Structure 1
Amino acid sequence: MNFDQQPARQPVDTEKREEFDRDPKGFIERTILDYAATSPSNKLEHFGGAPIFEPPIIGYANGDDPIFETYKEVVHKDHFMPREILERYLTEVRKVDTPVVERVTVVAFALPYNRETMRENALEKHGPALRWNHTRWEGQDFNHELVKHVIASLERVGVEAVAPDQTPFFRIVLPPDPLASYWSHRHMAYATGLGTFSLNDGLITPKGIGVRCSSFVINMDLEPTPRPYAHHLANCTFYANGECGACIARCPGDAITKEGHDKAKCHHVLFVQQKPWLDGEHGPGYIGDYAGCGLCHTGVPCAAGIPGRRARAETT
């Protein structure tokens, strides 16, 4: 998209606005869930039309929550603040004179990978299954399309919104600098109560670590989702009692150790070690800028849920 030629805003749909006003969260959630359920883009064309993602889980956070200040330290010094990026988008992209941003909410969702995709990748030891590879890239396209759809739906009812990673201000910082971005969807998902981090830097949600996260910012006040955990590593069994670490053995490039996840080594696995997958060495049909890996997200106890949660529930 040419950001200097933004499409003109459509007149507010008054009927839809009334629906939104009756239940703003319900409107947002129905928009996300319905699109995920019905869009042909959420289909693995080369795998029988199976869904790329299962129904997502959705969370909310106050855009002025102090947690977002910490992301300038733990993610990147230029990580966007929700209010900052919404105001900048409205001013510099949408050309709104003196935008009024009173209350800001971050909306995040996690899209669980198809269970068969997870199963097939769990069988691999050195690189991703073909189905996982297609999920990585076709899923990214669908994810972007879904967010654009939700934002367009909100704009049609007169609500200003922005997907920070789809603005011209977004950057991904690559090696030799520490790998990071100006807007981390996983950290937004953590802030909105969807899950906590793992030894391999993934996000362990009630649907497991096999998820793809996304998020956006809206110009209104919605009640935050409670964060049902004491700290940012609470769902990871390794950090709880040191008894797991299954993702260490799953990594084909020693990028995960008891000390955590080495992003530079992981980057090497993706772009160097697994390059033969794109070159056809492991069979035809691999797509994208890199093969996709994902081995440490499959074949592990947290693949499809929070480890120990069922056992804890049964003993209480």
Structure 2
Amino acid sequence: MRALLLALALAACAAAEAPAPAETPPVAEPPIAVTEPAAPPAPATLTLNCAGAFTQGGVALCRTLPGAAIAVDGVASGQADAQGWAVIGFNREHGAEGVVTARAHGASTSATYPIAPREFDIQRVDGLPQQTVTPTDPAVLERIAREAALKREAFASLADMEGFLDGFILPIEGGRVSGRWGNQRILNGTPSTPHFGYDIAAPTGTPIRAPAAGVVTLANPDMHYEGGLVFIDHGQGLITMYLHMSRLDVNVGDRVEQGQVIGAVGSSGRATGPHLCWRMRWRERQLDPSVAVEGLAAARAELLVAN
């Protein structure tokens, strides 16, 4: 028994003296990468360049930062599109200088342009129905008020497009210019407001073409003053009007392309013979549509070179 106990004691002692197994070294974890936040891009420099007809009744194009707010003579006038284009205009009574301002990202820049004066003739027109000159019939006055509301709604359109960038063509092939824009009118011997149309005399039924792409915002075959009437919004509130039409080939909401026939010449409404009264308006400013013919396309080309 004593021998057995001695053997067990020696075995326990030998086990106690045996070296401990080596520990496995810890696996080093990769360092955590720290990414510095990217610096915000520097804001683009605000620039402003304009080209076109700088004249009373003129229309022009400007190029600036996309989305920049535009003002003409201190009056807010919309904003530039996604490519930085903006259309502007100057009314008949505009003074010697026009100031265009662009604002974006807390900055602003302005450019001043000389506005060329124009001389306007006095034009006498006789033989008109008197109710289209000095209306007194309550029913006629009510109709005029109702139609004025329709026109105000159509003028408020701001189509999301830039049909004006392709320039304008004449809405009639051939014809004879029978009335210039801005002339003072005397109707049946009564002084009237200036004539804000560019008149082209042509036979009844002559096709009328859209001078530029746009969206139809008014199409009415029988207005008191205008007879058959169509409005086209070419974008940014630049709207053209077509009066005295004998036939309408478009409806409100239609999108038209440059050169598309929208109707035909007539003598409806306040007219003494078949002709097209072609008008242009931009944000409550009456403009001369004839200066837009080819002029806007040339302005765009000039600004593309400048920018």
| TM-score normalised by L of structure 2 | 0.23
Q: Flag the structure with more relative contact order, 1 or 2, with Cα contacts below 8 A and sequence separation at least 6.
A: 1
Greater strand fraction, Structure 1 or Structure 2: 2
* Larger Cα-atom Rg: 2
Greater helix fraction, Structure 1 or Structure 2: 1
